[in-house]
Amino acid sequence: MEKVDWHKNHIDDSTLITNSYKTTQNVRRYFKSKFGDDFKFDRDFMLWMKSATGLTMGDASQEWVKRKK
């Protein structure tokens, strides 16, 4: 699995979540671009992201929406 620099790589829905995942401002910008100011990280979602290796950021977006319903 290719290493992603979560601080500066371009992130889109097809970006794979790697075992080097970090919750960065760049990741926050990605989610805010999709969900606006409604997006907030919470502890449970951050833990889910850490365990989502192999999924995509699109999958993570769907998970966030599911958790907000």
Distance between CA atoms of 7 and 38, rounded to whole angstroms?
A: 22
pLDDT attached to residue 69 = 87
Q: Quick one: pLDDT at residue 64?
A: 97
Locus of tokens 């979602």 = 45
DSSP 3: -
**pLDDT score of 3:** 81
With a threshold of 0.85, does the pTM exceed it? yes
Q: What is the pLDDT of residues 8-62, one digit of tens each?
A: 999 999 999 999 999 999 999 999 999 999 899 999 999 999 999 999 999 999 9
Nearest CA among 20, 12, 19, 25 for reference residue 60 = 12
Name the more confident of 25 and 1. Answer: 25
pLDDT reading at 7 higher than 90: yes
Token readout for 10 is 């371009």
Structure tokens at 41: 């990280």
